[in-house]
Amino acid sequence: GTRFIQITSNDGWDMHVNIYQQANLPTKGPLLDNAVSALLTDLDAAGLLQETLVVMVGEFGRTVGPLTSAAGRDHWPQQFAFIAGGGTKGGTVVGTTNSTGSDVADYGWTQQRYVYPEDIEATIYSAMGIDWTSVRHDDPLGRGFSYVPTTDPVLYYPINELWG
């Protein structure tokens, strides 16, 4: 019964070449900033922000430091996630990077490790009141569905520091 909207961008954010060319980051960054800002402002004005969880993520980060020879950036295992509304404590920043942005200096959360996509999943399910540790067995073949996979050696957790 949970309603959601997913917006996927396929308009060339994978900038391995000329990342700072006017048509790339200098144009796309403000478009994204303005759209997210307007969404949050509208949700707040309608009294819906506290009951609407807004999550913005990418599947990878970008390398830091000097640009590549093609004036772009390569993929990076560190990720970025933006979470707002849904009862979160506004302005919360979880973790900090080192001075070059190449690694985490302080994880900023109780698990004292990197935040993985599965942790983001657990956070979303937790915010919706879903027991993210449960396994559903009501699929047609009865194989079971884990909300958050547990096959890795890492145990995943919600980022509870986002709530005040």
Q: pLDDT tens for residues 86-100?
A: 999 999 999 999 988
Q: pLDDT tens for residues 125-156?
A: 999 999 999 999 998 888 888 999 887 788 99
Question: 10 Å Cβ neighbour count for 60?
Answer: 14
Using an 8 Å Cβ cutoff, are 85 and 53 in contact?
yes
Question: Between residues 12 and 39, which one has the greater pLDDT?
Answer: 39
Q: CA 13, 17, 18 angle in degrees (round to 5)?
A: 95
